[in-house]
Amino acid sequence: MEHISSYIPVFGSLVNGLAAFTGALLGLLIHSRLPERVTAISFQALGLFTFIAGTSMALSSNNMLIMVFSIVAGSITGELAGIDQKINSISRHHPTSGNENGSTSFHEACVIASLLYCGGSMGILGAIEEGLGGFPNLLMAKSMLDGIASIALASSLGPGVVLAAGIMFLFQGSITLFADSIQDLLTQPIIDEISGVGGLMLIGIALSLLEIKRIRIMNMLPSLIIAFILGAIFLN
């Protein structure tokens, strides 16, 4: 496998993306065969998992001020730009998926899965590892985890998870291709702050999945960019 990877610049990300894509297809097949009550309880279980995963990621932040400023400033930016409303208008023809109330749409499922796939440091560090000439050991391990997770995600959330697998491939593949240029920018402290903000967003998603509070997570997406910028300024 190491011999094959030397001929494919983004081999690790490709394997990771295919694993997530295959798992998502299996999840969709399972979803179509599940009774509605089973889908509903699995949806709630996924909400609990998302809450724990988000909490774990949020605790990775070591700078509370960067996290708070990023999530607040990013949310205001997204709200003023109307990101959630614009994405909703684009994807309004996609069928809803998830619980019995259809409260999770195609694009929301895509964002949930994308944050889970890309929000941690494993994918970023693995992509940099491959980009600097090493064998993508981290991405191989992540492929197994994401393949299994995709089955559960797609069986609960629906087809948006399939698109998230492609987004993950593009995200990690881009990091691999430009690893030489960005390795000094994507240091562990910066990755931790980005993951921390992503964790807060996952907690918000969990509250929506559990029908506790509907939060416009799409409008918080600029927070990830702001966390990167602040981390690059103050932590490097």
Q: State the pLDDT at residue 231.
A: 95
Q: State the pLDDT at residue 195.
A: 94
Q: State the pLDDT at residue 99.
A: 45
Task: Please give the angle made by the CA atoms of 105, 108 and 112, to the nearest 5 degrees.
Answer: 135
Q: State the pLDDT at residue 24.
A: 96
Closest CA to 98 of 151, 33, 164, 157: 157
Q: State the pLDDT at residue 5.
A: 52
Q: State the pLDDT at residue 156.
A: 87
Q: State the pLDDT at residue 236.
A: 74
Q: Is 127:183 a contact under the CB 8 Å cutoff? A: no
Q: State the pLDDT at residue 17.
A: 96
Closest CA to 25 of 166, 162, 153: 162
Q: State the pLDDT at residue 188.
A: 92
Tell me the domain boundaries of the chain: 10-234
Closest CA to 36 of 156, 212, 214, 151: 156
Sign of the alpha-carbon torsion through 33, 205, 163, 91: positive
Residues of the chain with pLDDT under 50: 96-103
Q: State the pLDDT at residue 7.
A: 56
Q: State the pLDDT at residue 38.
A: 85
* Distance (Å, whole) CA 235 – CA 185: 10
